[in-house]
Structure 1
């Protein structure tokens, strides 16, 4: 049986997810690794008007957990955590999938897992999901961070540059869910810094707080004719400074396995590969 998680049961469900997420074969992409952050994530989701924190149960025991970001206006779902299931993974995953199909028909559904989570990867393949991205996960801690760039010309996005940002972002990420327009509507979730030259945005970096102590770099762009001039390094450095100055302990970024330029850039700045990530996408029918 699939049900929403009651607030009084949040800690029990968080403990179940925490134990499984610490095992590579059960791990989910970008999901908090410490118990307190998982509790905070679940509390936030349980009070959100759209997001769903779901549990599969036999009325006594937890059989599985799935945390879903829901964007009704855009008909979009993203698995934030799960499917977590200790036993009978395929059966539990099918139960959650049936719930999503029944309640969110027509929505796009994205889910990402490290390649070690073979049961999740195999299930996404079995339901016809398309492999969208194969990425390396890289991380940098505040302890290992060294300021290596002059970012004086990098500023926080403001209304004056909204139009220019949207144009450059959408050109670079024409197939991304998070278009420039959507990012501007969700500035409570994202921090955006830009490089400007002659009143035009020539580069940007977009970050989002995953937990109280971790942020993710979602996008990094520099227009083609301004690359190899230090703007990418300066943008990343600005994002790192801002994050670490505001209590973040660690930043992570996903980089395509074939994007050698970006991999070299992040590793030069101290990021280290920590995992792989396979992102699957499908339309629920």
Structure 2
């Protein structure tokens, strides 16, 4: 069942088109990854979902209600975490959490205490003394303490250390198991890969691809840097190899995750001196995959 539906969403700021015909759907019990480079339109879309901005054209429905005209009623069922949290400086973290939970009409004291411990947050400190990471923890504890049906998370792990990021991921998966829906905007591809059932990719205000991670296999590639004693032969003939570059005898390329084992077996006999692997970043993805795709689309369009 669809929880969130965006149809042909357009948002103009004067003559500037921030969003152009965006279509997006999030289903019940689904974690949907919403990714794109800075300035692509992610935050503008989220502000429209929250009823902060009004769409120029198109339809935005949450639980079957209009995101703009029914915003007050919808907020009772939505929990939102921004990427840069501003809190009341003279309140303690615990007071802010209590305030947000009460605003949604809940009183989940045991859940609140459990999350404060898991996120290693001191709730008695004034918010003005908190680091960015601790302000983020206050927002996350507030969100996951409430009994929301839809979580809208806009770069929620900004400022968190890797251990806290793991706790966040556990909370998302627990919410999903409870049948909740999550829209996760993130620039960390590994986070999206671990959590999301489907992914939508936005670029320059337009949705360019939507699908499961198995359908969008280029999202799960690895970057490899490889140096061997002997030159590697037949590397280009292997499946799942992309963007091979060579400099001073050192190879760098991308490999589809499911082909990693085959590639390692192929290169091992050549005597590995150095092997580095890193997950694909969003910058890699847009520079290598989508820029090339955009160029090839233009070429095809020019030929027709």
Q: TM-score, normalised by structure 1?
A: 0.26
Q: Quick check: which has more Rg, 1 or 2?
A: 2
Q: TM-score, normalised by structure 2?
A: 0.25
* Larger relative contact order (Cα-Cα within 8 Å, sequence gap ≥ 6): 1
